Structure 1
Amino acid sequence: MDSTTVITTERLRLRPLTEADADWWVGLHADDEVNRFVGGYTREQAAARLRDIQQQWTQRGHGLCAVELRSTGRAIGRCGLNWWEQFGETEIGWTFARTHWGRGYATEAAQAVLAWGFGSLGLSQITAMIHHGNTASSAVARRLGFTPLREDSVLGRPCTVHALARDDYLSPDMRGARH
């Protein structure tokens, strides 16, 4: 996938985020419950973060995506791959508007991103950095087959880094568990 293509699932469409998404990004992170673990953004901070995401798409061939409902085209969250230079790791991340929690969208989007990351991109491992207390994201990570790797800190906050290896993802046992 490059910056002009998309990933689709039964209910969702994932497309690369661009700086044009800054107002939407600010709105997504304006909810205190949504930003509890990922933080809020000003318009300027959002534009800078989205420029960084676009740069990852250009340099690495992957990045974060807007997640849209296929039925309406409305953006409901974000999911994708993020390269962390300081860790030397590619992380999968997801954040959804509170009105769309509990419907399986994070799991559905993340499953599609994992298939792309381990398939087309050929990544050998993907991590998920989950802040302490984020029980919903921990549950999504478990459903996807991630296991705890280490305790660390990201953006100044303690987190558990979970990992999923390509070989484990592709194993017959894992394929059966995901479906």
Structure 2
Amino acid sequence: MLETDRLVLRPLTRHDVDALVDLHADPLVNRFVPAFSRERALSRLAEIEEQWSERGHGLCAVELRATGEFIGRCGLNYWPQFDEVEAGWTFKPAVWGRGYATEAAAASVSWGFSHLGLGFVTAMIRADNAASIRVAERLGFTPRREDLLFGNPVTVWALDAQE
């Protein structure tokens, strides 16, 4: 579990299925990430739990420290097809513009560098996702290459560990 001034990040589990389905059902969110049926969400959560167990990292539920309200997900996701760890963030539109994505992603990336010894972290972002591009830029990520993720063209941004 990670804590910031305003947020708590804890590993996502199958118990978060309803929150994950609701988050991804919002049309503003699923412009960039897929919507999930309950069954697909449970399958994805099982993958996330397995990644935590096998790799020691994965995606987290992000909750407000003050209230415990689930406001999104963020964390480090390993993509075997790229052999890379990505920092990913998805938040409810109601909390956009408050700096939560930057705060949660900064904590995740810092933790990845200090606890996992990662040499770099990526962020795969579609060209039309201006808000995520701004988060990546605030964190110091720079464009590294173009690639495909689930058939969608993405720019792979990267941040190297500081020596």
TM-score band (shorter)? over 0.9
Equivalence for 2:19: 24
User: How far does residue 85 in structure 1 lie from its aligned partner after superposition?
Assistant: 0.3
Q: Structure 2 CA distance, aligned partners of 1:23 and 1:9?
A: 25
2:81 matches 1:86: yes
Q: 1:69 aligns with which of 51, 64, 68?
A: 64
Q: Structure 1 CA distance, aligned partners of 2:52 and 2:144?
A: 26
Q: Structure 1 CA distance, aligned partners of 2:157 and 2:26?
A: 26
Pairing of 1:84-163 with structure 2 (within 5 A): 84-163=79-158
- TM, length-normalised to structure 1: 0.90
Q: 1:164 aligns with which of 150, 159, 163?
A: 159
Q: Which amino acid aligns with 1:70?
A: R
Equivalence for 1:60: 55
Q: Secondary structure at the match of 2:28?
A: coil
Equivalence for 1:48: 43
Count residues in correspondence.
163
User: How far does residue 70 in structure 1 lie from its aligned partner after superposition?
Assistant: 0.2
Q: Structure 2 CA distance, aligned partners of 1:149 and 1:63?
A: 22
Q: Structure 2 CA distance, aligned partners of 1:98 and 1:35?
A: 11
User: How far does residue 157 in structure 1 lie from its aligned partner after superposition?
Assistant: 0.6
- TM, length-normalised to structure 2: 0.98
Q: 2:3 aligns with which of 8, 11, 18?
A: 8
Identity of paired residues, percent?
60
Equivalence for 1:173: none
Runs ≥4 in structure 1, deviation > 6 angstroms? none
Unaligned regions of 5+ residues in structure 1, if any? 1-5, 171-179
User: How far does residue 13 in structure 1 lie from its aligned partner after superposition?
Assistant: 0.2
Q: Secondary structure at the match of 1:47?
A: helix
User: How far does residue 106 in structure 1 lie from its aligned partner after superposition?
Assistant: 0.2
